[in-house]
């Protein structure tokens, strides 16, 4: 943990994806790891999520996808993040992501993709080591 | 953060930059360098907003009620700042901040600033930083600040020192007339909200609460709390009700405070408490900083565990040695 600051994470679903069991489990695991996690729930629009990242001064934005919308919404999120100069926010994606989508997402600007089956230690350590603020 | 950056940050906040507002809050929340300077500069720009507190047990509907009240205030053309406090785990320090999820309607409204914070082990339901956070949001320039505490039980009453008007939210099924008779959280209410008033048992509980107010020892000329039935969620929109009355009640109470000069008294009491808290924090930091590297802190604690000493004697000794006589 840098500068003795509590890590603040926003976890959210985007669009019409109605499956949030995984996202909720991730929220709980991050909480147990000592992070402060804002959960935004389902059916959020891109602009709403960006506003939350700004207002909450989040260190990490985690997008959860279980319905194959990652290639549609992620570029919009990245675009809005750039527009709002949120380049010090760590953007990660999790969920049922096909392997072939990973390089595409990374090219868009996602820092790391955690597929279903990832171990909690992996993403907890990743966040702890890579927050930019 | 250099001092120059802080000056710039505060100026931007005063100019309405919500990104800087968010950053400043993080800085203050984590007591980072520049914290004191921010507060010093922000202070002259505070004291203008009406501050409303919402407290009550977890699951009573505080966030949903807050959401509706934000909408009502916005319709009146008011800008609103919202501070949502949720509990930190006493073991891991982590927190799940889940109140914002009830406020999606305002997610993109530039007239609303919403910030979720964790209690970070503070007793009484509010983090110590909450005081400072409210001040910064005030300086940002909102008309109303709503502070929603974490779900409280029976005597977490810190909130009255922070707000002008305090709403305590109850629901049916929270107990009988004996619960309503107990001392504690009911006494801090300026407005008593009977939420989920469409559920069974609401009417009886409203009577119990009204009974408790009637028998309360309220001095002549002081505010008498009122009970407001409220329904925040229903299949039929027509059944959602009680909130215009609550808004009216909030303004009535605020007017009452203004007219009765109680505002000055509240301000004095609040500053007294705040001064004490800041002093306590700064003093503790100063002393622990002084003890750092001396091994004394460990020695003291070990001596207490070993039964050779007790915490009161240790504190007395620390004060004698390092504060009152400044031997080192």
Give every CB contact of residue A127 below 8 A, 6+ residues apart in sequence. A7, A9, A30, A35, A59, A60, A90, A92
Tell me the torsion sign for CA atoms B31, B89, B137, B21: positive
The CB-side HSE value for B38 (13 A sphere, CA atoms) comes to 34
Q: Which of B94, B109, B112 to mutate to test the interface with A (most CBs of A within 10 A)?
A: B94
Q: Hey, what are A90's tokens?
A: 């760590």
**In chain A, what residues touch B93 (CB-CB under 8 Å)?**
6, 34
**In chain B, what residues touch A27 (CB-CB under 8 Å)?**
96
Confidence of residue B227 (pLDDT cuts 50, 70, 90): very high
Residue A94 to chain B, least CA–CA distance (Å): 18
| Minimum CA–CA partner of B94 in chain A | A34
Provide the pLDDT for residue A2.
40
Q: What is the pLDDT of residues B160-213, one digit of tens each?
A: 778 899 999 988 877 666 666 665 667 788 999 999 999 988 888 888 888 888
Q: What is the pLDDT of residues B263-301, one digit of tens each?
A: 888 778 778 877 887 888 788 888 888 888 888 889 999
Q: What is the DSSP letter of B2?
A: -
Phi, psi torsion values for B26, nearest 5 degrees: -60, -45
| Minimum CA–CA partner of A31 in chain B | B94
Q: Hey, what are B212's tokens?
A: 């408790």
Q: What is the DSSP letter of B48?
A: -
Say if the Cβ atoms of B32 and A5 lie within 8 Å: yes
Q: How many Cβ atoms are within 10 Å of B115's Cβ, its own excluded?
A: 24
Nearest to B137 by CA among B79, B194, B184: B79
- Alpha-carbon A10 to chain mean position: 7
Residue A113 three-state SS: strand
**In chain A, what residues touch B1 (CB-CB under 8 Å)?**
none
Measured N-to-C along each axis, helices B18-29 and B3-14 cross at an angle, to the nearest 10 degrees, of: 130
Residue B140 three-state SS: helix
| Minimum CA–CA partner of A34 in chain B | B94
- Are B95 and B230 a contacting pair, CB within 8 Å? no
**In chain A, what residues touch B120 (CB-CB under 8 Å)?**
6
Residue B71 has pLDDT above 80, yes or no: yes
Tell me what ipTM this predicted complex has.
0.90
- Are B54 and B83 a contacting pair, CB within 8 Å? no
| Minimum CA–CA partner of B118 in chain A | A36
pTM of the model: 0.87
Q: Average pLDDT of B34-44? A: 91
B96 touches chain A (CB under 8 A): yes
Say if the Cβ atoms of B92 and A31 lie within 8 Å: yes
Residue A74 CA to residue A81 CA, distance in Å, equals: 10
Residue B193 three-state SS: strand
Q: Hey, which residues does B82 pair with through a beta bridge?
A: B114, B146
Of A31, A48, A55, nearest to B96 by CB-CB distance is A31
Q: What is the pLDDT of residues B45-55, one digit of tens each?
A: 998 899 999 98
Say if the Cβ atoms of B30 and A47 lie within 8 Å: no
Confidence of residue A3 (pLDDT cuts 50, 70, 90): very low
């Amino acid at each position: 943990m840098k500068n003795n600051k509590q890590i603040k994470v926003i976890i959210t679903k985007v669009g019409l994806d109605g499956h949030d069991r995984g996202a909720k489990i991730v929220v709980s695991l991050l909480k147990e790891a000592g992070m402060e996690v804002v959960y935004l729930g389902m059916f959020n629009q891109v602009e709403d999520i960006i506003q939350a990242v700004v207002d909450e001064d989040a260190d990490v934005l985690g997008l959860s996808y279980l319905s194959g919308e990652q290639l549609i919404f992620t570029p919009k999120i990245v675009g809005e993040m750039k527009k709002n100069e949120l380049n010090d926010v760590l953007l990660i994606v999790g969920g049922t992501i096909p392997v072939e989508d990973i390089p595409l997402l990374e090219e868009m600007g996602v820092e790391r993709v955690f597929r279903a089956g990832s171990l909690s230690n992996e993403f907890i350590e990743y966040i702890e080591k890579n927050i930019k603020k | 953060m250099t001092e120059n950056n802080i000056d710039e940050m505060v100026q931007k906040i005063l100019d309405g930059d919500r990104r800087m507002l968010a950053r400043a809050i993080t800085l203050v929340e984590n007591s980072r360098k520049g914290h004191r300077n921010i507060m010093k500069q922000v202070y002259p720009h505070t004291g203008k907003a009406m501050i409303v507190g919402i407290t009550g047990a977890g699951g009573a509907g505080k966030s949903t009620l807050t959401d509706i009240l934000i909408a009502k205030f916005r319709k009146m053309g008011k800008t609103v700042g919202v501070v949502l406090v949720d509990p930190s785990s006493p073991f891991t320090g982590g927190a799940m901040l889940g109140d914002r999820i009830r406020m999606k309607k305002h997610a993109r409204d530039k007239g609303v600033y919403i910030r979720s914070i964790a209690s970070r082990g503070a007793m009484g339901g509010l983090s110590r930083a909450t005081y400072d956070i409210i001040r910064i949001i005030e300086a940002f320039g909102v008309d109303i600040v709503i502070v929603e505490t974490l779900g409280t039980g029976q005597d977490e009453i810190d909130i009255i020192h922070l707000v002008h008007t305090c709403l305590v939210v109850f629901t049916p099924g929270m107990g009988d007339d004996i619960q309503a008779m107990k001392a504690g959280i009911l006494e801090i209410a300026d407005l008593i909200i009977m939420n989920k008033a469409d559920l069974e048992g609401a009417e009886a509980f409203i009577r119990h609460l009204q009974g408790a107010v009637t028998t309360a020892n309220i001095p002549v000329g002081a505010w008498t709390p009122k009970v407001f039935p409220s329904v925040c969620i229903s299949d039929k929109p027509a059944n959602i009700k009680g909130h215009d009355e609550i808004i009216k009640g909030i303004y009535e109470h605020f007017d009452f405070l203004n007219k009765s000069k109680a505002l000055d008294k509240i301000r004095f009491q609040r500053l007294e408490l705040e001064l004490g808290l800041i002093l306590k924090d700064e003093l503790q930091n100063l002393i622990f900083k002084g003890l750092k590297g001396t091994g004394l802190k460990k020695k003291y604690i070990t001596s207490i565990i070993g039964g050779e000493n007790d915490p009161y004697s240790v504190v007395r000794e620390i004060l004698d040695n390092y504060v009152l006589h400044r031997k080192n």
